[in-house]
């Protein structure tokens, strides 16, 4: 098998949770509501010091919280890596003082990871983003802390107040900037490639030979041929999700085998 895989995301149940901060949480809720495989989106506050903060407290910029969304998703339909990709495509990750017309520390962007697997996926995605645009990415990668649900009037705001939200979105210039930044193609982060120097630094010698020179891992003596942990298998170089453990079967070849890709 010429593609080295890395088991990246442990699935303990059909539904999983991810948290992102992308500026105004009304807009991030709208964005993730449209992603196939997402079951529910809640707006709230994450990353701060004050327990159970109110909107008024967070909006002072002194609590350390970011306006955030908690995304519940079906891990059998969409991977964490794809959620991160969707997140990037709805923000300007190079803006340092907030997002679009919303300025202040509470509007800074962040990916909140829950474990080392999610951190690796987020780091790989961020590196790919930097390679694509050739400029610093200001989005933080942060260990997930307690997520506090925002007040009820903020939940589903774009649905409950479509006129007011529409006026805000146009005035804020979000769509205009997203089009300027991402263009029309919205190329996935996984279509970029690290430099040879970076690959040699981040991969083991065997990983480098397998992924870059089409070498083959020895059968029955590789990391995942006999692995039975539930999860998503991703490309070790790009972080792109490839296979689900639900589709793995015993082929007798000594390499991990799957009935279908994701």
Return residue ranges of the chain for CATH 3.30.1060.10: 13-190
What pLDDT does 220 receive? 86
Return residue ranges of the chain for CATH 2.170.150.20: 193-258
CA within 13 Å, CB half, 142: 22
Name the 3-class secondary structure at 241: strand
Tens place of pLDDT per residue across the chain (262 aa):
344 444 443 434 579 999 999 999 999 999 999 999 999 999 999 999 999 999 999 999 999 999 999 999 999 899 999 999 999 999 999 999 999 999 999 999 999 999 999 999 999 999 999 998 889 999 999 999 999 999 999 999 999 999 999 999 999 999 999 999 998 645 444 455 667 887 888 788 888 888 888 788 888 888 887 888 876 677 777 666 677 777 888 888 888 888 876 5
pTM to 2 decimal places: 0.69
For residues 258 and 72, give the distance between their C-alpha atoms in angstroms, rounded to a whole number.
26
Ramachandran angles phi, psi of 58, nearest 5°: -65, -40
The closest of 34, 21, 104, 36 to 69, measured between CA atoms, is 21
Q: Crossing angle of helices 162-172/25-33, nearest 10°?
A: 110
What pLDDT does 12 receive? 43
Query: For 13-190, CATH number?
Result: 3.30.1060.10
What pLDDT does 250 receive? 86
Torsional class of 17: left (φ above 0), alpha (ψ -120 to 50), beta (otherwise): beta
What pLDDT does 5 receive? 45
What pLDDT does 67 receive? 98
Contact at 8 Å (CB) between 262 and 244? yes
- Domain 193-258 belongs to what topology? 2.170.150
For residues 192 and 128, give the distance between their C-alpha atoms in angstroms, rounded to a whole number.
6
């Amino acid at each position: 098998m010429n593609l080295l895989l890395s088991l990246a995301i442990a699935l303990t149940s059909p539904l999983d949770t991810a948290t992102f901060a992308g500026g105004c949480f009304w807009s991030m809720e709208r964005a993730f509501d449209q992603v196939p495989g997402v079951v529910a989106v809640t707006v709230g506050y994450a990353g701060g010091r004050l327990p159970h903060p109110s909107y008024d407290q967070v909006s002072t910029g002194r609590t350390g919280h970011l306006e955030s969304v908690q995304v519940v998703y079906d891990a059998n339909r969409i991977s964490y890596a794809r959620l991160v990709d969707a997140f990037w495509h709805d923000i300007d990750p190079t803006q340092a003082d907030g997002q679009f017309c919303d300025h202040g520390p509470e509007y800074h962007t962040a990916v909140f990871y829950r474990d080392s697997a999610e951190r690796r996926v987020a780091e790989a995605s961020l590196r790919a983003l930097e390679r694509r645009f050739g400029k610093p990415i200001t989005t933080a990668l942060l260990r997930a802390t307690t997520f506090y649900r925002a007040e009820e009037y903020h939940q589903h705001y774009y649905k409950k107040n479509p006129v007011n939200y529409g006026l805000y979105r146009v005035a804020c210039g979000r769509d205009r900037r997203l089009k300027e930044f991402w263009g029309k193609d919205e190329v996935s982060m996984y279509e970029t490639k690290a430099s040879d120097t970076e690959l040699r630094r981040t991969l083991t010698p065997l990983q480098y030979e397998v992924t870059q020179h089409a070498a083959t891992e020895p059968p029955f003596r590789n990391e995942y041929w006999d692995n039975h942990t539930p999860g998503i298998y991703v490309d070790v170089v790009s972080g792109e999700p490839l296979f689900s453990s639900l589709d793995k079967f015993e082929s007798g070849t000594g390499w991990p085998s799957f009935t279908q890709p994701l």
